[in-house]
Structure 1
Amino acid sequence: MERRLAAVLAADVAGYSLLMGRNEEGTVSQLKAFRKTLVDPTIAAYRGRIVKTTGDGMLVEFASAVDAARCAVEVQRAVARENVALPPQTRIEFRIGIHVGDIIFDDADIFGDGVNIAARLEGLSQPGGICISDDAQRQIRGKLDTPFEDMGLQNLKNIAEPMRAWRLSDAKSPALLSPDRSVETTQPLALPDKPSIAVLPFQNMSSDPEQDYFADGMVEDIITALSHYHALFVIARNSSFTYKGHAVDVKQVGRELGVRYVLEGSVRRVLDRVRVTGQLIDASTGAHLWADRFDGALKDIFDLQDDITLRVVGAIAPKLEQAEIVRAMRKPTESLDGYDYYLRAMSNFHKGGRKDISEALRLFYKAIELDDKFSSAYGMASWSYARRKLNGWADEGSSEASEAERIADRAVECGGDNAVALASSGIAIGYMFADFERAASLMDRAQALNPNLAMAWHLSGWIRCLIGRQDLAIEHLERVVRLSPVDPQRPGMLAAIATAHFAAGRFDTASSLATAAMLEQSSNFIAALVAAGANAMAGNLDIASSAMERVRALDPNFRLHKVKDRLPHRQPEVLAQWEDALRRAGLPE
C-alpha cells in the first residue's frame, strides 16, 4: 500500500438505465464499440491507466492533470462526432469528472478522497460534458484551448467541505455539443421570482405496462402536492408529460419550461415488489441535489403510491429551500431583493443561535421593507420572536411582545392562503399570547392548504401539547419527522415530542428523545430542559444535574418562577409537574 499524487478521471454513461431498458443488446454493442475505437485508445495515448470498469463507467488514473483533461476533451469530441450518424434514441453520451489529489494505491486499485471527489464531480457533469475540481483547474490553467467556467462552491455527497468546481463551457465549445443541443436556437423562458420545478414522467423500467399507470399517477400526485406550496412555481402536468417517452437533457428542460429544478425518476417491478427511484436536479448546472429509492409490495400498489408521494415531497421540499438559500448566499448584497433577504433570513433561522435569530429578524424586516405584503416574512418574523421568548433572549420590559403581535396579525391578514404564514404566525399567537383556540384554527387552515408542509404539523404539535392534547401532539409531530426526516428543524421536532411525552408522564421516552435532540443541536434549550426534568422524575439525578448545567449555561437567568412563562401549559397539573421536576434537578427558585 502506498500514497501518491495523481489525476483521477471518473466517467459513466448518462441515462444508461434508460438506454438499457429500451435496447439492451444495442446499448452494450454501441458502448463496446466506443470503448474499443475511441475511449481506450485515447486513454492510452495520454498515458492513462484504466483502474477498473463498472459496466457503464470507468475509473482512470493519470500522472498529469493536463493529460487527464486533454484526454477527456478528445473523448467527448470524438463521441459527439460519432453520435451524428446514430438515431437520437441510441446515442451514448459520457459524463466525466476529474480531480487531482492524494490517493492510496493498493493491489492495482486506488482509494481515498481523491477518487471519491472525482466520482462526485462526474455526477455534476452534464451528458457530453466535463466537470473538474478547483485543484485540477489550477493545474491545467493556460494549458488547454478549451474554456472552463466557474460553478462556484458545490456540496458533494459524503465530502465534508463544499468544493469549488468548474465545467466545460458549452457556449464556447460547440464542438462538444451533441447534434440535438448544438442547434438549439429557442430563447430560454425567464425564471419565475420564486423556486420553480418541473416533475417529469417517471420511466417504467419493467416489462409490466401496468406500471405505466402507477408511475403516471404518482407523478401527478407529486405535482399536486408540490402545488400546495405557496412559495413554489410548479409546472402543470400537461406540460411535464410532453417529455414522456423521450430521453431528455434536464438543462434543456429547464430552458424550455423556464424552471430551475427538475425531478425525474423511474419505476421497476422486482418480483412482487415495486422499486421507485427519484432524483432532484438543478437544471442550470445539472448538479444532483437529492436522490433516493423507495420499495413496497405490489399488492398494496395504491397505498404505496400515496406513501412514496408523501416521502418524495417531504424530502425535496427542504432540499429546494436549502438550494435556494445557497443560491441567494452567492449573490452580492447590492443585488438582493425581498425574496433573497427572506432566504438569507431562513438560513440564520435554521441555525437557531441567539445571534442567528437576531440576524434572521433583521433580514425578515428587510424583506418586508421591499414587499409590505410578504406574508411568509411576517409570519417567520413572529415565530422568531416566539423563539426568543422560549430561549429567554427577549429583553424584559421591551416592546417585543406588542411588535410580535402586530406582525403576526399582519401575516394572517396578508397570507390567508399561505400555509407558511398561517402556521408561523399561529405559534406566536398561541405561545406568546395564550390564544390557543385561534392558534389551533390557524394550524388547521395551514394543514388544509398544504397537507405536506412539515412546519404546519411541527407547530401544530406544540400548540396541541400546550393545551393538553398530548397524544394528538405526538401524532402530529411524528408525522413531521416522517414528512421531513432531514429537515433543519428536526432537533426542535424531537424536543417537542419529548415535551409532550414529559407532560404525559412518560419520562424515559422523554429523556431519550431529549438526549437525541441535544446531540443534534447542543444549543436547544427545551431539549436540555426536558432532559433535566425527565431524568429527575425517573430518579436519574446525576444525569438530571448534568442536563441542568446545560440549561443554566444556555440561560443563566432562568428560574423556577419563569417556567410558566416559557412553557405556558394550560393544565395546572402539568406546570406543577414541571416545577417539581426542575426543582429536583437543581433549578433555583
Structure 2
Amino acid sequence: MRIRLLGGLEVSSADGQPVRFAMRKSALLFAALVLAGSRGHRRERLSEGFWPGRGEAQSRNSLRQALADIRRRFPADGNAAISLEGDQETVALTAGPDEADIWLFERKLAESGTADLAFAAELYRGDVLAGEAIPDGLDAWFGPYQVGYRQKALQLVERLSLALPEAGTADAAACERLAERLLAADPTAEAAHRALMRVHVARGHENAALRQLESCRALLRKLLDVEPEAQTNALAASLQSRERHHQVKPAHDTVLPPQPVSIPARPHDQPSVAVMPFDNLGGADDEYFADGVVEETTAALSRVRDFFVIARQSAFTYKGRFVDVRQVGKELGVNYVVEGTVRRGGDRLRISVQLVDAETRAQLWSERYEGAIEDIFEFQDRIAAQVAGAIHPAIRGAEIELAKRKPPTSLRAYDLVMRAYPNIWGRRKDTNDQAIELLKKATAVDPAYGRAHALLAWCHASNAAYLWAEQPESELEKARAAVETAGSIGDDPTALAAAGSALSMCGDQERAATFIERALALDPNNAWAWARQGWIATYTGEAARAPERFQRAMALSPMDPFAFNMRLGMATAMAKTGSLSQAVAIAREVIAAHPDIIMSYRYLAAWSAMIGDIETARWAAQKLLTAQPDFTIERYRSLPILRSTPEWADQVAEALKLAGLPER
C-alpha cells in the first residue's frame, strides 16, 4: 500500500521513499483521482473545480501542469503499478487494488469476518486528508468524502464491537484504537463510546464500561445538551443489570429481586418499528401508489402511543435496494421491520405484508389483502392495527381506531399528493415548483382535500423563506390563503404539521404553535412537527428549549432528507444562546454534505462574521451570491420569521454586512 488518504496524505514510491509533489494543488488533484477510482473525472470538472474563476484556457493549462507533475512522480513505463490514463475528456488513476488505503478500507468493509473488520479499523487513521490545508472552494469538493468516510468508520466501530468474542483479542484492540481516534475528533460520537463500552465488557471490565457510559452522558449534556441515544441506553441497561448480578449478596446468600434500571425515559424504550418501502409489482405508474400505502401505514402506526415509529422519510432511503433487516435494525435503531408488496391491476388491489424481528430475522406475522381499489384506506388501517397487535398484544383495538382519518374523495388527488411528497423538502427551487404544480392539480381534482392545500401552503412559504421568489410577500399570501382553504384538517397530523410550518414561516408563531401541538397530540412520532416546534421556540425567544425538540425529530427520522433543516435549526438555537462556534461547525458539516443547499451559506456567513472569522464569512457570502445573485440583506431582513426577534435580526444583518453581502 503506497497511498494513504485516511488521516492525511502520504504517498510513497516503489522503493518506499516519500513522494513530494511540486505544487499543493497537484497533491490534492492526486487525492481527488484516488477518491474517484477507476471511473476518474472529466477534465472540465477538474479544471473548473480546482482553478475556478481563471477562465477556461488558463484553468485547463493549470490542470495540464498539475497532471504533468503527477506523471513525473509516476511515469507510465508499461510496468508501473500507479499511473494516469485518460483522453481529451477524462482522466483517471490506475493502480492495483491494494495500493490505496481507502480502496482496501472499502473492500474490507464489504466482508463479514471480524478479522477483515479489524483490518479496516486499523486503516482508518482519521478523516480523509485530515491536517491538509485545503484551499477555499475545494472544501466543498472533499467535504462529502470526509463526512462519508467518517460515517462509515462509525458504522464500522459499531459492527466490530458487536462482533467481538467474550474474551479480549487483537480484534478488540483494533476496535478500541478506532473508537479512540473517532472520539478524539468528535467527543460526542456515541457509536465510539458504545464500542469502548463493549470492549471493556469483553475484557471483563464492567466498571470501566460504566465509567465510559458516564463520560458519554456527561459529554453529550455538556456539548449538545442532549441525552444518550436509545442504543446507548439499552447497552447501559445491560451493563447495570450485569453489575447488579455480580454484586456481593447478603450473608444469608438470598438473591435480591432486581431493581429497576435508572435510565432517562426515552421514546426508544418503546417497541420500535420501521415500515420499509413496499415493492411495486405493478406498472411504473403505480410506484407512487405503492409509496402511498407505506406513507399511510406509517402514519397510522405512528399515532399509536405505545410505539416509536421511524419517519417515512428515513425508511425511504432504502428504496430500490435490498437491505438485510438486521442492518436496517442497527442503522435505524428499531426492533421490528414491516415489509410488503403492492400490486394494482385495473380496479383491483393486492397487498402482501410481513412483520419481521430485526435481530433474529424471524417472521412474526404476515397477511395478504385483496379487494377493490377503493378499499385501500381500509386496508392501510387494518395493516396498522394487525402490525400493532402482533408487536404489542396489549394494545386495544380502540387505540388503533385513533389512527384512522377521513380519506380523500379522489384516488387521483391522492396519487398527485404522493407524487409531490418527495419534492417538498426545501432543497431546490425546481423541485419545490414541481411539487406546487402537482398539488395544484390535486386541489383542482378534490377541492376538499385538506392535506393537499396544507402542503401547498408549505411549498409557497418555502419559496419565500428560501428567497426563491422575486416577490416573497406574494408567496406568503398564497401560503396563508392555502391554509385557510385547507378547512378541517384537525385529524391529519401531516396536514397540521405542514400548515403549522407554513404559518410559522409567515411569521404567525402563535397560530403555528397551535397547529403543531395538535399534530403532536395526534401523532407523537411526527418528526416534522417536532422539528417545527424547535424552530418556533427559536423564533419566539425560547432558543434554549429548541435543541431537545430538534434532537427528538432527528431520532425519529435519522436519515431524513429534511435532516439538514433540523441540523441548521439546532445550530440556530445554539447561535442564539451563545454557542456560535458549535453553530459554525454544524453549518460547515451541512455544507460539506449538501453543498447545493443555499441557505446554509447564509447562516455560515453570519455566524462566522459574529465570531470574527471574516475569511470564512466572505467565502460563504460569495457562495451565496453565486447561487442567489439578487440576494440583499434588506430583502432577507424583511422576512416575517425575523420579526419576532428584532434584536437578533439586527445582529444577523450587521454580520451579513461584515461578510460583504449587499445591503440593498
- TM-score under structure 2 normalisation? 0.42
